[in-house]
Amino acid sequence: MNSNPQAEVDPRQQEDELARLVGRAERGDLTVLPALREALAANPDLWQTYGDLALQAEGALVRVAAGSNLLLAESLLLKLRALKAELGGDGDSPLERLLIARVAATWLQTAYFDGLVAQAGGAGEARLKVLRQQQDAAHRRHLAGIKQLALIRKLLRPAPSPLELLRAPVGETSPSTAATRRAGGLPRCGAAAGVEN
């Protein structure tokens, strides 16, 4: 007989209890707050995903862009995941991961507004002006995110040590190449080079 009562709890039953707890919390039931805090402490994946507002915004934009088209929605989510993987790596700092997520989100925003402008052929001049302003703003945010990611990566890259600089190969120049540079591109010859016939 097992003396640990938690070991005997059915995982499905635990999931159902957590789902009920989350549902009550989403409806604002303050009586579940102590149990909710305990559940969040025991399930960090839950609060990390649910509390990621950037991910929530990303999902909202995917829903807006795709509408009821599930194929487009899933494709956009996969494209975002692939873009983040392409931009990132295992050794990325937390700041780099935040900027990678930002670049992916702004890519989606920019592409969305590009599509709206492209489809707005019959729209009025005022509507088209607003769409172009939104498109330009999304494009500026995207470029700013890319610039910041590049800057952070440059700043986080360790500077080479003096020993690494000493060990680095240096391209050597031949005496004739150096003489060519001193003479303004023309090799020295004869008396000008100090050679007598």
Record the pTM: 0.67
| Separation between Cα atoms, residue 145 and residue 109, nearest integer Å | 12
| Separation between Cα atoms, residue 79 and residue 96, nearest integer Å | 19
> Which three-class secondary structure state does DSSP give residue 127?
helix
List C-alpha distances in Å: 100 to 48, 51, 61, 79, 90.
Answer: 17, 18, 17, 14, 13
What pLDDT, on the 0 to 100 scale, is given for residue 161?
A: 83
User: How many helical (H) and strand (E) elements, i.e. helices and strands, does the chain have?
Assistant: 9, 0
What pLDDT, on the 0 to 100 scale, is given for residue 83?
A: 96
For 120-144, what is the mean pLDDT? 93
For 128-138, what is the mean pLDDT? 95
Question: What are the tens digits of pLDDT across the range 17-36?
Answer: 888 998 999 999 999 999 99
Cβ–Cβ under 8 Å, residues 179 and 173: no
What pLDDT, on the 0 to 100 scale, is given for residue 50?
A: 87
| Separation between Cα atoms, residue 83 and residue 76, nearest integer Å | 10
Percent of the chain with pLDDT over 70: 83
Question: What are the tens digits of pLDDT across the range 48-104?
Answer: 888 889 899 999 999 999 999 999 999 999 999 999 999 998 889 999 999 999 999
What pLDDT, on the 0 to 100 scale, is given for residue 157?
A: 84
| Separation between Cα atoms, residue 127 and residue 133, nearest integer Å | 10
pLDDT score of 4 more than 80 = no
Q: Report the chain's mean pLDDT, rounded to a whole number.
A: 85
| Separation between Cα atoms, residue 115 and residue 64, nearest integer Å | 12
What pLDDT, on the 0 to 100 scale, is given for residue 175?
A: 61
pLDDT score of 187 more than 60 = no
What pLDDT, on the 0 to 100 scale, is given for residue 140?
A: 98
* DSSP 8-state assignment for residue 159: P
Q: Can you say whether the dihedral through the CA atoms of 131, 69, 77, 42 is positive or negative?
A: positive
- Token pair recorded at residue 101: 């997520």
Q: What is the CA radius of gyration of the chain?
A: 30
pLDDT score of 173 more than 90 = no
| Dihedral Cα 143, 48, 56, 94, nearest 10 deg | 0
> Which three-class secondary structure state does DSSP give residue 9?
coil
Residue 64, H or E segment: helix 53-66
